[in-house]
Structure 1
Amino acid sequence: MHRTLINIGPRQIAVFCLALTAFELLTYMASDLLMPAMLSVTAELHADARHVPHAFNLYLLGGVCLQWLLGPLSDRWGRRRLLLIGCALFGAACAAAFFVNSIELFNLLRLLQGMGLGFVVTVSYPALQEVFCEADAVRLMALLGNVALLSPLLGPLLGVVLLQWLSWRELFLGLGLMTALVWLGLYLYMPETVGVIRRDGQRSMPTALSWRLTARRYRALLGNRRFLCASLSLGLMSLPLIAWIGLAPLLLIRLQGLSPVEYGLWQLPVFSAVIVGNLILDRLLPTHSLPQLIQLALWPFCLGLLALAGCTLLGASTVSVVASLALYAVGLGMSNAAVYRLALFSSDDSKGLVSALTGMISIAVMGLGGSLIAVIGGGAHLGLFALCAAASGLMCLPLLYGLLPGTPADSASDQ
C-alpha cells in the first residue's frame, strides 16, 4: 500500500500513477516507435535522408526549450495545471503530424512533441515526490526509469510490427488519441500538490515568480563547478547511445541493407545492456558509495568505447559495433543514476530548479552532439560513426574526475 502525504484515496492514487506512467511512455514512444518509419517519412515528404537524425535531435532539443521556465511556473501555478497544458500540447503536436506535407513542418512538430519530455521531467517528477513519502516516491521513480529504458528496447520492434498495418501518419494520430485519454485521466485524478496542507502538517506554498531572482539562481548554479561537471558528464556519457538511436536507421537500413525487422532486433543487445547495468547498480547500491559505483562503472564504460574506437582501425562491422556499444551500455546503466544524483545534490537550491537546469544541459549536449556527429558524416560510414561516438563518450572522463573524492572539485565543494 502506498503511503501518501496528501489526502487522496487508493483509486485516485492508482489512476494518477498510471496516467503519469502512460504520459512518460508516450513521450518516449513518440520517438522510438517512429524511428523505423523515418526513411519512409523523408521519402514521402521528398526530403533528404539527412533529416532522419535531425528530426530525432530536434525532438531531444524540444525537451530543453521549456525546462528553465517550467520549474518556476509550476512552483507558482501548481503542478496539475502545468502538466495538463504539457499533455495537451504533446497530444496536439502528435495528431497534427497526420496532416503534414513538408519536412520543415514535420521537424517543427518534432520540436513541439519533444517539449513533452520537459513537462515529464520538470513537472511530473516533483509532483510524485510531493504526493508520496520518500520510500514510495523512490520506488515509483525507479518504475518510471524502467519505462524510459523499455521504450528504446521495444519501441523500434513494435514500430516495425505496427507499420505492417498502419502508415506513419496513422501512428502519429494514434499517439495523439492515446494522449487525449491520458489527459482525461490526469484531469480527473491528478491532485494538486502546491498550496495544500499535507498529512504531515506541512504546506507546499506557491512561490512568487521573480524573473530576476530566478536568473540569479540559475547563474549561481552555472557557477557551481561540481554541478557543471555532473551535468555535462550526463550528456557526454549518453551521447554515443543517443547518436546510435538517431543514426541507426541510416547505418543499418540504408547503408547495410538490413530490413526494418533486422534493424529492430539489432537494438535489443544495446538497450538490454543498459537494463543489465541498472540491475547491477541496484545490487551494488547498498554496499557502495556513489563515487565507488561510478569508478566500477567506468571499467565496462571505457572498455566498450575503446573497443568501439578499435572498430575503426580493424574494420567496423555491425556485429563489432553493436557488441562494443553493448559493453559501453552496461557501464552507462551502472553510472547514469549515480551521476544524476550527484548533480541534483551538488547545490542546496530547490530540486525542481536544479533538475530543470541539469536536464537542459545534459539534453542540449546530447542533441547538439548528435547533430554534429550527423553533420560530419556519422550516418554515412559505420567506422566514422564508431570513432565519433567513442571520442564523444570518452570526453566525459576529465569531468567525472572532478566528481570523485580527493579531486580539486570535490575538495572545493566540501569547503
Structure 2
Amino acid sequence: MQRILINIPPTRALGFCLALTLFELTTYMASDMIMPAMLKVIHTFNADSRHVPYAFNLYLLGGVCLQGLIGPLSDQLGRRRMLLAGCALFSAACAAAFAAGSIEAFNLLRLVQGMSLGFVVAVSYPALQEVFCEADAVRLMALLGNVALLSPLLGPLVGTLLLEWLDWRELFLMLGLVAALAWLGLYAFMPETVGALRRDGKRLASIPFSWRHTRQRYQALLGNHRFLAASLALGLMSLPLIAWIGLAPVLLMQQQGLTPLAYGLWQIPVFAAVIVGNLLLDRLLLTHPLPRLVSLALWPFCLGLGALIVCSQLGAGLQAVVASLALYAVGLGMSNAALYRLALFCSEDSKGLVSALIGMLSITVMGAGGALIAASGGGNSLSLFALWAAGGGLLALPLLLGFLSNNTSHSASTP
C-alpha cells in the first residue's frame, strides 16, 4: 500500500482512491460518452453544428467558474465536505439534462456539469497530495490520469453502443446515477485532510475564508513567475488534445463521413499513447527528478507537434494526423502529472488555493484555446486542425524552458 501521511487505515485510503477514481471517470464520461450523440443532440433542438465544439468548451470553462471559491473554501471547510457537495451538484446536473428543452438549456447544463472539474482539480488533487508522500502522490495522479483517459478512449465507443438502446437523454440520467454511487463511496471512505494529524506530527490547519485575504493570496500567486509559467504551460500542452476531443466528431463524422463506431476507434491510438506516456512516467519516477522527467517528455511532445505541422503543409490524411497526435500524446502523458506537482509546490500557500488557480489558468487556456481553434476553421479540415493545434501546443515551449531552467538544481518540495 502507498505510504500514507495521515492517520487512516490503508483500507480506507484505498476506498477513497477508488471512489475518487469513479467520480473523476464519470465527470469525463459525461463529456466523451455523449460526443457521438452530439449530432443527434443538435438535430433534436434544430441547432447549428457549431454547438458541437461549443458544448465541449463550455464544459471545460464550467470548471473555471467556481474554482477560485472552491479552493479557499476547502482550506477552511475541509476537502471532504466540498468534494461531496461537488459530486452532488454534478449528479443533479446530469439528471437535469434528461429534461432539457432547448440547446440553450443543454449548453447551460453543460456549463454546470463542467463545474465538477473545479471540484476534482481544486479539492481532490490537493487531498491526494496531503494523504500520500510525493512519489506516491505523483504516481497516483498519473494512474488517475490513465483512468480518466479511458473516458475519451472508451467513451465514444461505449456511447455509440449504448445509443443503440438508449436515447442521449437516458445516457445523462445513467451518468447521474453513477455519480450518486461515487458520492456514497466518497461519503464512506474519504478522509478529511484539513486539521488531520499527520504521521510526522504536523497538523494541516484550516484557513479562515476572507474575500480580501483570498484576493491578496491570489495576487501574490499571480506575481509568482515560476508558478504562472508552469500553470499556463499545463493548459497549452494539453490544448492539441482538447481541441481534438472537441472537433473530432465534426472532422471525422461530418467531414470524413465516418460512422460513430469508426469515429470511436480512431480515438484509441491517441489516448492509448497518453496512457503509454503515463506508464513511462511511473517507471522513470524511480530514477529521475521531476524537472528531468518533464525535459525528457519534451522530445516526443515536440516531435509529434512538428509532425502535425508537416501534415498540415502536405495535406496529409487521417492516418498521418492521428499518428502525429499519438507521438505528441506520449510526451503529454509523461509530463502532465509531474508538471502539476511542480506547479503545486511553487508556492508555500495552502494547496487548495494553489490548486484552484492552477486549474483556473490551465482550464481557461484549454477552453479558450479550443474555442479559438474552432472559430479559426479547425473543424473545417484536418490540415487546418493540425496547423492550429500544433501552433497552440508549441506556445508552451518558452514557458517550459524558462520554468525548467529555474528547477535544474532541485525538484518539488515534499509536503
- Partner residue of 2:115? 115
After TM superposition, give the deviation of residue 69 of structure 1 in Å. Answer: 0.9
Distance 1:306 1:347, change over 3 A: same
Rounded to whole Å, the distance in 1 between the matches of 2:277 and 2:143 is: 15
Rounded to whole Å, the distance in 1 between the matches of 2:289 and 2:197 is: 35
- Partner residue of 1:182? 182
Rounded to whole Å, the distance in 1 between the matches of 2:135 and 2:299 is: 31
Distance 1:236 1:349, change over 3 A: same
Residue 376 of structure 1: SS of its match in structure 2?
A: helix
Structure 1 gaps, min length 5? none
- Partner residue of 1:29? 29
Question: Contact 1:291 / 1:403 at 8 angstroms: preserved in 2?
Answer: no
Distance 1:133 1:396, change over 3 A: closer
Kindly indicate whether residue 344 of structure 2 is the aligned counterpart of residue 340 of structure 1. no
- Partner residue of 2:413? none
Rounded to whole Å, the distance in 2 between the matches of 1:12 and 1:215 is: 35
After TM superposition, give the deviation of residue 131 of structure 1 in Å. Answer: 4.0
Question: Contact 1:275 / 1:330 at 8 angstroms: preserved in 2?
Answer: yes
After TM superposition, give the deviation of residue 201 of structure 1 in Å. Answer: 4.2
After TM superposition, give the deviation of residue 289 of structure 1 in Å. Answer: 3.4
Question: Contact 2:61 / 2:364 at 8 angstroms: preserved in 1?
Answer: yes
Rounded to whole Å, the distance in 2 between the matches of 1:133 and 1:337 is: 14
- Partner residue of 1:372? 372
Structure 2 gaps, min length 5? 411-415
Rounded to whole Å, the distance in 2 between the matches of 1:307 and 1:17 is: 37
Rounded to whole Å, the distance in 1 between the matches of 2:366 and 2:109 is: 19
Question: Contact 1:404 / 1:410 at 8 angstroms: preserved in 2?
Answer: no
TM-score, length-scaled by structure 2: 0.92
- Partner residue of 1:66? 66
Kindly indicate whether residue 396 of structure 2 is the aligned counterpart of residue 384 of structure 1. no
Distance 1:338 1:183, change over 3 A: closer
Matches within 5 A, 1:9-408: 9=9, 12-132=12-132, 137-198=137-198, 200-405=200-405
Q: What amino acid sits opposite 2:345 in the alignment?
A: F
After TM superposition, give the deviation of residue 273 of structure 1 in Å. Answer: 1.0
Which moved further from structure 2: 15-24 or 192-201? 192-201
Question: Contact 1:39 / 1:52 at 8 angstroms: preserved in 2?
Answer: yes
Distance 1:8 1:307, change over 3 A: closer
Question: Contact 1:247 / 1:379 at 8 angstroms: preserved in 2?
Answer: yes
% same residue: 73
After TM superposition, give the deviation of residue 406 of structure 1 in Å. Answer: 6.6
After TM superposition, give the deviation of residue 410 of structure 1 in Å. Answer: 9.7
Question: Contact 2:142 / 2:337 at 8 angstroms: preserved in 1?
Answer: no
TM-score, length-scaled by structure 1: 0.92
Q: What amino acid sits opposite 2:269 in the alignment?
A: P
Residue 378 of structure 2: SS of its match in structure 1?
A: coil
Deviation by residue 1:138-162 (Cα, 9 ceiling, x = unmatched): 5443432221222211111111111
Rounded to whole Å, the distance in 2 between the matches of 1:320 and 1:396 is: 23
Distance 1:340 1:8, change over 3 A: closer
After TM superposition, give the deviation of residue 68 of structure 1 in Å. Answer: 1.2
Distance 1:9 1:279, change over 3 A: closer
Q: What amino acid sits opposite 2:161 in the alignment?
A: V
Rounded to whole Å, the distance in 2 between the matches of 1:133 and 1:194 is: 16
Rounded to whole Å, the distance in 2 between the matches of 1:74 and 1:292 is: 32
Deviation by residue 1:301-323 (Cα, 9 ceiling, x = unmatched): 12211211111221131111111
